[in-house]
Amino acid sequence: MKWVLPATLYFAISMSNSSYLYESDTTNPYTNIAREEQLLLGVPLDAVILYLWQNERTVVIGRNQCAWSECNVQALKEDNGFLARRLSGGGAVFHDLGNLNFTFLYPKKSEDIARQTRVIAGAVASFGLCPEISGRNDITVDGKKFSGNAYYTQGNRAYHHGTLMLDVNPAALTKYLNVHQEKYRSKGVDSVRARVVNLQELCSDITVRTMKDALINAFETEYQRPVADVLSSWMPEAEMETRRERFSGWDWVYGRPVQCSWSGETRFPWGTLRVELDVDKGIIRDLGIFTDALEVNVYQEMEQKLKGQRFDKNALTEAVHRGMEQNQYADGLQSLLESAF
């Protein structure tokens, strides 16, 4: 008698014995983060997936970080860059096309950080380099960091993701990251910078394509099975668009429940002006405007008018224009507020 497995049972067994690969075809960070969430939550529970992706000129902050203390938001906007917030915790990172991102997605019960890290180390070692694990979150070569890692769990699924610096523009790192940190006090998580290195400096054979191939080979070797492509039915367009809209929205990027404060002070010909702002979920909840100008009440009404405003350069400029007579005091307040960005 020939036994025939029910389709559902066959599917479950084949799933438990299969690994999957998904290579993103876009460099838009909101789409890529949306795909990452879909690969976490919108696939069969037992799916083990390697996701490879890149972002163009993007600062990605951790879930509990203050955007303005980690990133020069205005400079990034002026250069048509992106600010994105991920689901996982940890510090801020800069992505350009010299950076390759990886994500391992799997059932929480089978999480094995050491095993997943061996895939990264094995891929890098295949180019003749000697990677070392530094703590829980970093991978280094000769004491210099080329990969930072973070982790996230939701329900019965989890992921481990990180960056691989292949040929990242070093000038952009200093231009967009941490330039205003001395002006901010954040009740979220602050990044700690380490010495970094581009892997291409150590081996000219390393490119995005060769590193992708090395990761795929190391993934297959570690999990002892070939990868299959992620099924298109796991990535429905309507659901993907809903996720992308959420991750690109102001409420997610700036309005997360993170509190930070900003203060600035400038000397003008007419006196000294100091502003202190308390920002919560991207909204100015409280503030103080202090000055030794001869006109005592020049900013009294503006304190109330700035409360409840989004902490955004254009929004604050418009509020000053609407709320004050356009004179040297308004110009001074506007220029000081603009320095926050």
Residue pLDDT, tens place only, 191-241: 545 588 999 999 999 999 999 999 999 999 999 999 999 999 999 999 999
Question: What's the CA gap between 32 and 240, in Å, rounded?
Answer: 10
Q: Are residues 63 and 165 in the same domain?
A: yes
Integer CA distances (angstroms), 216 to 12, 283, 324, in order: 24, 44, 60
Please state whether the predicted TM-score (pTM) of the whole model is above 0.85: no
Token representation of residue 79: 């250069």
Q: What was the pLDDT predicted at 189?
A: 55
Indicate the length of the chain as a whole number: 341
pLDDT tops 50 at residue 3? no
Q: What was the pLDDT predicted at 191?
A: 57
Its domain, for residue 325, covers: 259-338
Q: What was the pLDDT predicted at 10?
A: 35
pLDDT tops 80 at residue 168? yes
Confidence band, pLDDT 50/70/90 cuts, at residue 136: low
pLDDT tops 70 at residue 42? yes
Q: Are residues 162 and 17 in the same domain?
A: yes
Q: Are residues 64 and 135 in the same domain?
A: yes
Q: What was the pLDDT predicted at 238?
A: 96
Of 122, 119, 147, 124, whose CA–CA distance to 135 is shortest? 147
* Residue burial 244-255, b: 16+ Cβ < 10 Å; e: rest: beebbeeebbbb
Position with higher pLDDT, 264 vs 27? 27
Q: Which of 253, 276, 309 is the last residue of a domain?
A: 253
Sign of CA dihedral 43, 123, 56, 95: positive
Q: Are residues 88 and 27 in the same domain?
A: yes
Q: Are residues 81 and 30 in the same domain?
A: yes
pLDDT tops 90 at residue 182? no
Q: What was the pLDDT predicted at 143?
A: 87
Q: How many domains does the chain have?
A: 2
The mean pLDDT value for 272-284 works out to: 88
pLDDT tops 50 at residue 16? no
Q: What is the secondary structure of 154-204 as a DSSP string?
A: ETTEEEEEEEEESS--HHHHHHHBSTTGGGEEESS-------B--HHHH-T
Of 60, 73, 59, 82, whose CA–CA distance to 338 is shortest? 73
Give the orientation angle of helix 113-125 with respect to helix 208-223, to 10 degrees.
Answer: 130
What whole-number percentage of the chain has pLDDT above 70?
89
Q: Which of 225, 253, 281 is the last residue of a domain?
A: 253
Q: Are residues 178 and 271 in the same domain?
A: no
β-strand pairing of 227-229 with 19-23: parallel
Residue 194 lies in a domain: yes
Q: Which of 253, 278, 313 is the last residue of a domain?
A: 253
Integer CA distances (angstroms), 295 to 46, 74, 105, 276, in order: 69, 32, 61, 20
Confidence band, pLDDT 50/70/90 cuts, at residue 37: very high
